[in-house]
């Protein structure tokens, strides 16, 4: 997602774009996006400073760390980026958007807060009921 400096109006500009999760290199073994990443940005320039206020949305499928079941979740983040200009004609936002989304990823994704996980003996998903092991 590029912002061209010469297109920023005195009261700012609004930009909307859908970014491919594959192009942003966002997917991991545990996280797969089910939609494009939608970005709405308001860009303001003041002398040699550009401020970008972003609303970032997307949907992903994750793997639960306890029971190994897949579950869907939504991402909605508001993020501000500030750039100091030094002769650039455009600002590329993709790297900052990518970093912001990766920082959103949980250390241990859970399908629900009360996930019971797997039986350590037989491997049954305990969210589906007891396994019968002693």
Whether residue 70 is contained in a domain is answered as: yes
**For residue 134, pLDDT beyond 80:** no
pTM: 0.81
Whether residue 87 is contained in a domain is answered as: yes
Whether residue 55 is contained in a domain is answered as: yes
Whether residue 133 is contained in a domain is answered as: no
All residues at 6 or more sequence positions from 87 whose CB lies less than 8 Å from its CB, including other chains: none
Other Cβ atoms less than 10 A from the Cβ of 42: the count is 15
The residue with greater pLDDT, 134 or 66, is 66
Counted domains in the chain: 1
Whether residue 10 is contained in a domain is answered as: yes
Return the pLDDT at 42. Answer: 96
Encode burial over 57-94: b for 16+ CB neighbours within 10 A, e otherwise. ebebebbbebbeeeeeeebeeebebebeeeeeeebebb
Please state, rounded to an integer, the average pLDDT across all residues of the chain: 91
Task: Give the range of the structural domain holding residue 44, as residue numbers without chain letter.
Answer: 2-128
Return the pLDDT at 27. Answer: 87
Return the pLDDT at 132. Answer: 82
**For residue 86, pLDDT beyond 90:** no
Whether residue 134 is contained in a domain is answered as: no
Whether residue 47 is contained in a domain is answered as: yes
pLDDT digits (tens, 9 = 90+) for 24-79: 999 888 889 999 999 999 999 988 899 999 999 999 999 999 999 999 999 999 99
Closest Cα to residue 104, out of 68, 62, 70? 62
């Amino acid at each position: 997602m590029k912002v061209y400096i010469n297109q920023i109006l005195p009261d700012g500009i609004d930009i909307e774009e859908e970014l491919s999760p594959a192009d942003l290199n966002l997917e991991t073994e545990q996280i797969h996006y089910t939609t494009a990443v939608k970005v709405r940005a308001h860009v303001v320039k003041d002398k040699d400073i550009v401020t970008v206020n972003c609303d970032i949305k997307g949907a992903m499928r994750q793997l639960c760390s306890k029971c190994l079941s897949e579950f869907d979740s939504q991402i909605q983040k508001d993020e501000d980026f500030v750039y100091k200009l030094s002769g650039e004609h455009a600002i590329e936002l993709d790297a900052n958007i990518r970093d912001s989304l990766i920082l959103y990823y949980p250390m241990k994704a859970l399908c629900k807060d009360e996930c019971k996980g797997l039986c350590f003996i037989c491997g049954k998903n305990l969210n589906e009921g007891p396994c019968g092991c002693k």
